[in-house]
Amino acid sequence: MKKGFLLTALGAACWGFSGTCGQYLFIHAHISSSYLTTMRMLIAGGVLMIITFINSREMLKRLIQNKRDLLQLFIFAIGGLAFSQWTYLTAISYSNAATATVLQYLYPTLLVILTCLKDHRFPQSIEVLCIVLATLGTFVLATHGHLSRLNISMQGLLWGILAAIAACSYTLTPVKLMHRYGSLPIVSLGMMIGGLFMGIAFQSYKHIPALDISGILAMLAIGLIGTALAFTMYLFGVSTIGAIKASMLASLEPVSAAICSFFWLHTTFQFTDFLGFFLIMATVFILAKAKEKAQ
């Protein structure tokens, strides 16, 4: 259990660190979010495919032979994984790693709203509280309490909200596939498919940036540490401490992104930024605790 808690926390911290690496590349290498998404997915997908081939070869073979499930995987890879990675990294390019990460964490509240619409019911009192907190947190983060102006760019806000919507798709679309084949074959093959799609769709191979050694290291850190290693550690955590506790520990991601951005890139934050962070992230804990109590 202790190992599960530790590795889950480290996985979340690695996700936050990868966001800051992305911010570094946007600032110093003027790299595009589409190219970074392509490389992140291909690097991570390649590493995870090797692990999958070693540990889950039969499941991978079964998946490839099932045309219907393979089609569903393509939908997840493009509409879930690639869309989520691209919108998140684009949000970072227009704001910063910490703000983009927190805005992405609006997705649990969006899932509540989608569930209420799907079930044709009004939200429960605790769900109403989370919707209010998430809305208020987004308002504080975007405006710092001033109705007449935005504290972050409109592009940063919109891409951050799109990243939250994409995270909903990323969360919902692979559920049945993961039950059938396990998480590793789905994510590893999904990463490869999504990376290839992004590379072809945006012709990333025609816009290869000239990176110095620090840029190459940041790129590798995003793919290896911030994606492949982070996913592996988080997956182990889910298997040992459960999805609910793991989802709460995953909230360390924006904390890690904020700390790395502050000390490495000297990103400045105000009290109202932290207030917005707190209001949005509180919804993750409230919803997780409510789900744990219900179970």
Q: Calculate mean pLDDT across residues 47-56.
A: 92
Place of tokens 């940063």: 156
Q: At residue 43, does pLDDT exceed 90? A: yes
Burial of 121 (0-12, 13-18, 19+ CB in 10 A): exposed
Q: At residue 31, does pLDDT exceed 80? A: yes
Contact 42, 192 (CB under 8 A): yes
The sign of the CA dihedral 14, 15, 16, 19 is positive
pLDDT value, residue 82: 96
Nearest one of 47, 39, 5 to 22, comparing CA atoms: 39
Q: Calculate mean pLDDT across residues 77-90.
A: 96
Interacting residues of 164 by C-beta distance below 8 A, sequence separation 6+: 103, 104, 105, 106, 107, 110
Q: Calculate mean pLDDT across residues 226-242.
A: 86
Give the pLDDT confidence of 248-285 residue by residue, as tens digits.
888 899 999 999 999 999 999 999 999 999 999 999 99
33-37, 204-208, 271-275, 284-288: segment of lowest average pLDDT:
204-208
Q: Both ends of the chain: CA-CA distance in Å? A: 20
pLDDT, averaged across the chain: 92
Give the pLDDT confidence of 238-247 residue by residue, as tens digits.
878 887 788 8
